[in-house]
Amino acid sequence: MGIGSKQAMIEKIISVDWQTLMIPDSSVAEMVLRGTLTYWFLFLILRLFRRPTGQLGIADVLLITILADASQNAMGGTYESIASGFVLIATIVFWDRLIDHLAYRYHWFTPVAQPPPVVLIRNGHVQQDSLRRQKISDEELLSHLREQGIEDPSEARLCLLESDGRISVLKH
């Protein structure tokens, strides 16, 4: 390998195409629109098909998932520029924060951002229609009750699927 080819190889390894790296490769308006439509589509889908998720709310899981994908695309080269990834990330964070702000500031918006709790057990009686709508099996419900120290549904005065996906139980 000659000196010229070594220099060319080193040049290729350490050179940076700053223009490709920093200038968005799509229109900013298109990226904002794509981020907005994707966020709202997934938000509505997850809002309709709520399941017990633990400590994170649906919007939290959505934000983490989309941010991870958008960040991966920006870093991994799916986008030609970092700026494209930054625009998409900023759009997603904007919508997430705006929804939180609207739910806090305007009570009429709260049901849009956070679904109301669903009654799973009332006065010891399992609400089978609620379990069916939420796609929660009897076994899954009993497992959550055991975690709360309840062996039989009749011991629960109230059991709710909370807006953040947790199942809470009040004993008699």
In the chain, what are the domain boundaries?
A: 19-113, 118-171
Place of tokens 């009654």: 119
The residues near 114 (Cβ < 8 Å, ≥ 6 apart) are 57, 103, 163, 164
Give whole-number Cα distances, 168 to 118, 119, 128, 134, 149, in Å. Answer: 10, 10, 17, 15, 12
Give the pLDDT confidence of 113-132 residue by residue, as tens digits: 888 899 999 999 999 999 99
- 140 CB neighbour count, 10 Å cutoff: 15
pTM equals: 0.58
Give the pLDDT confidence of 45-77 residue by residue, as tens digits: 767 665 555 556 777 778 778 877 876 665 555
Q: pLDDT higher for 107 or 1?
A: 107
Q: Indicate the fold that domain 118-171 takes in CATH.
A: CRO Repressor (3.30.240)
> Which tokens is 165 given?
């996906």
